Structure 1
Amino acid sequence: MTVHDTQVLVVGAGPTGLTAAIELLRQGVDCMLIDERSEPARYSRALVLQARSLELLQLHGLSDAFVRDGYLAPGFNFGADDRTPAIVEMYHTGSRYPFMLTLSQEETERALTERLGELGGTLHRGLKLVSAAQDREGVTAKLTGESGERTVTARYLIDCSGSHSVLSQQWGTTEESPLFRGTALIADVLVEGDLPRGFVSLHTNERGGLALLPFQNEYVRVIAFDLAKMEISPKEPLDIEEVQETVDAIVPYPLRIGNPQWITRFRAQNRLLSTYRNERLFFAGDAAHLYIPVAAQGMNTGIQDAFNLAWKLSFVCRGRAPESLLDSYNEERHLIGERTRKLSDLLFQLFIKQARSTTYRKISSKVMGLALSTTPVQNLMSGRVSQTGVEYRHTALSKAQRFGGLPKSAINAGDRVPDLDLADSDGLGVRLYDLMRTPGFVLIGYASSYTSSRKKEAMAAELARLKDRYAGSLQCLMVLGEGLPRQGDVPTFLDARREVLHKLGARPGDVFLVRPDGYLAFRADDPRRLPGLLGSWLSTPVTDSGVRTVPDGALR
Structure 2
Amino acid sequence: MNATEHTDVLVVGGGPVGLLLANELGARGVSVIVAEAAENIRQEPRAGTLHARTVQSLTRRGYLRAPDTRSASASAAPFHFAGMPGLAIHAPATEGPPLMNVPQSELERALAELAGELGVDVRRGARATELRREEHAVEVTVRSTRGEHRVRAGYVVGADGARSTVRDRAGIGAATHPPNFAAVLGLVRLDRPGAIPGGWAHGPHGWTLVNPNPSGHSRVIVHDFRKPLPDHRSPVDLEELRERTSSVLGFEVGMSDPAFLTRFSDFCRLVDSFRDGRVLLAGDAAHLHPPLGGQGLNLGLQDALNLGWKLALVISGSAPDSLLDTYHAERHPAARRVVDNTRAQSALMHPGEEFDPLRDLFGELLNLRQANDHVQGLVSGQGVTYEALDSADTRHEGRFLTNVGVRTGQAHTSVAELLTSGAGLLLLTPAAGAELADTARQWKDRVDVRTVELDEEREWSAALVRPDGYLAWTNAAGGTSAESLREHLVHFFGPAGGRENG
Shared fold per TM-score greater than 0.5: yes
Quick check: 1:415 aligned with 2:432?
no
Q: Does the aligned pair in 2 maintain the 1:205–1:356 contact within 8 Å?
A: no
Deviation at 1:59, TM superposition (A): 3.5
SS of equivalent residue, structure 1 residue 345: helix
Aligned to 1:401: 390
1:437-452 correspondence to structure 2 within 5 Å:
437-447=420-430, 451=431
CA distance in 2, matches of 1:427, 1:97: 21
Q: Does the aligned pair in 2 maintain the 1:319–1:541 contact within 8 Å?
A: no
Q: Does the aligned pair in 1 maintain the 2:32–2:121 contact within 8 Å?
A: no
Deviation at 1:254, TM superposition (A): 12
Deviation at 1:131, TM superposition (A): 1.5
Letter in 2 for 1:135: E
Aligned to 1:63: 64
1:364 to 355, 358, 362: 358
Give deviations 1:343-390, integer Å, cap 9, x for gaps: 1101011111xx122x422x2332122211111111101110000111
SS of equivalent residue, structure 1 residue 161: coil
CA distance in 2, matches of 1:106, 1:46: 9
Aligned to 2:496: 540
User: Structure 1 pair 544/214, CA: closer, same or farther in 2 (3 Å)?
Assistant: farther
2:444 to 471, 485, 488: 471
User: Structure 1 pair 401/174, CA: closer, same or farther in 2 (3 Å)?
Assistant: same
SS of equivalent residue, structure 2 residue 100: strand
Q: Does the aligned pair in 2 maintain the 1:513–1:520 contact within 8 Å?
A: yes
User: Structure 1 pair 100/138, CA: closer, same or farther in 2 (3 Å)?
Assistant: same
Q: Does the aligned pair in 2 maintain the 1:442–1:516 contact within 8 Å?
A: yes
Q: Does the aligned pair in 2 maintain the 1:4–1:155 contact within 8 Å?
A: no
Q: Does the aligned pair in 2 maintain the 1:186–1:221 contact within 8 Å?
A: yes
Quick check: 1:158 aligned with 2:181?
no
Q: Does the aligned pair in 2 maintain the 1:93–1:379 contact within 8 Å?
A: no
Letter in 2 for 1:113: A
Letter in 1 for 2:443: Y
Aligned to 2:380: 386
SS of equivalent residue, structure 1 residue 335: helix
SS of equivalent residue, structure 1 residue 266: strand
CA distance in 2, matches of 1:440, 1:427: 20
Deviation at 1:38, TM superposition (A): 1.8
Quick check: 1:435 aligned with 2:418?
yes
Aligned to 2:71: none
Identity in percent: 27
Q: Does the aligned pair in 2 maintain the 1:131–1:141 contact within 8 Å?
A: yes
Letter in 2 for 1:238: D
Quick check: 1:34 aligned with 2:51?
no
CA distance in 2, matches of 1:413, 1:93: 19
Q: Does the aligned pair in 2 maintain the 1:75–1:100 contact within 8 Å?
A: no
CA distance in 2, matches of 1:58, 1:290: 26
Greater alpha carbon shift after TM alignment, 380-389 vs 519-528? 519-528
Aligned to 2:80: 77
1:48-447 correspondence to structure 2 within 5 Å:
48-63=49-64, 74-77=77-80, 86-91=85-90, 96-180=95-179, 182-188=181-187, 192-193=193-194, 201-212=199-210, 221-228=219-226, 231-233=229-231, 235-239=234-238, 243=241, 246-247=244-245, 250=248, 261-267=259-265, 269-352=267-350, 355-357=351-353, 359-361=354-356, 363-393=357-387, 398=388, 400-404=389-393, 410=395, 412-424=396-408, 430-447=413-430
CA distance in 2, matches of 1:252, 1:476: 63
Quick check: 1:519 aligned with 2:473?
no
For structure 2, the residue ranges without an aligned partner over 5 or more in a row are 67-74
Deviation at 1:91, TM superposition (A): 1.6
Greater alpha carbon shift after TM alignment, 529-538 vs 223-232? 223-232
User: Structure 1 pair 275/28, CA: closer, same or farther in 2 (3 Å)?
Assistant: same
Q: Does the aligned pair in 2 maintain the 1:317–1:544 contact within 8 Å?
A: no
Give deviations 1:479-504, integer Å, cap 9, x for gaps: 33xxxxxxxxxxxxxx23x1xx2xxx
User: Structure 1 pair 98/61, CA: closer, same or farther in 2 (3 Å)?
Assistant: same
CA distance in 1, matches of 2:25, 2:449: 22
User: Structure 1 pair 124/92, CA: closer, same or farther in 2 (3 Å)?
Assistant: closer
Question: How many residue pairs were aligned?
Answer: 482
Deviation at 1:280, TM superposition (A): 0.5
Q: Does the aligned pair in 2 maintain the 1:186–1:265 contact within 8 Å?
A: yes
CA distance in 2, matches of 1:272, 1:27: 30
Q: Does the aligned pair in 2 maintain the 1:160–1:287 contact within 8 Å?
A: yes
Give deviations 1:447-477, integer Å, cap 9, x for gaps: 4xxx5xxxx6x43x642x4564223311112
CA distance in 1, matches of 2:170, 2:501: 29
SS of equivalent residue, structure 2 residue 372: helix
User: Structure 1 pair 86/144, CA: closer, same or farther in 2 (3 Å)?
Assistant: closer
CA distance in 2, matches of 1:270, 1:73: 30
Deviation at 1:96, TM superposition (A): 2.0
Greater alpha carbon shift after TM alignment, 228-237 vs 8-17? 228-237
Letter in 2 for 1:446: T
Q: Does the aligned pair in 2 maintain the 1:76–1:202 contact within 8 Å?
A: no
Q: Does the aligned pair in 1 maintain the 2:266–2:346 contact within 8 Å?
A: no
1:503-514 correspondence to structure 2 within 5 Å:
505-507=458-460, 510-514=461-465
Deviation at 1:189, TM superposition (A): 5.5
Deviation at 1:436, TM superposition (A): 0.5
User: Structure 1 pair 73/184, CA: closer, same or farther in 2 (3 Å)?
Assistant: farther
Deviation at 1:433, TM superposition (A): 1.2
For structure 1, the residue ranges without an aligned partner over 5 or more in a row are 66-71, 481-494, 547-556
Greater alpha carbon shift after TM alignment, 163-172 vs 22-31? 163-172
User: Structure 1 pair 99/262, CA: closer, same or farther in 2 (3 Å)?
Assistant: farther
User: Structure 1 pair 535/92, CA: closer, same or farther in 2 (3 Å)?
Assistant: closer
User: Structure 1 pair 254/420, CA: closer, same or farther in 2 (3 Å)?
Assistant: farther
User: Structure 1 pair 61/537, CA: closer, same or farther in 2 (3 Å)?
Assistant: closer
Aligned to 1:490: none
Give deviations 1:178-219, integer Å, cap 9, x for gaps: 44165311124578449998xxx433231202334799x997
User: Structure 1 pair 365/97, CA: closer, same or farther in 2 (3 Å)?
Assistant: farther
Q: Does the aligned pair in 1 maintain the 2:81–2:345 contact within 8 Å?
A: no
CA distance in 1, matches of 2:197, 2:314: 49
User: Structure 1 pair 97/367, CA: closer, same or farther in 2 (3 Å)?
Assistant: farther
CA distance in 2, matches of 1:218, 1:414: 47
Q: Does the aligned pair in 1 maintain the 2:181–2:224 contact within 8 Å?
A: no
Letter in 1 for 2:202: T
CA distance in 2, matches of 1:518, 1:218: 42
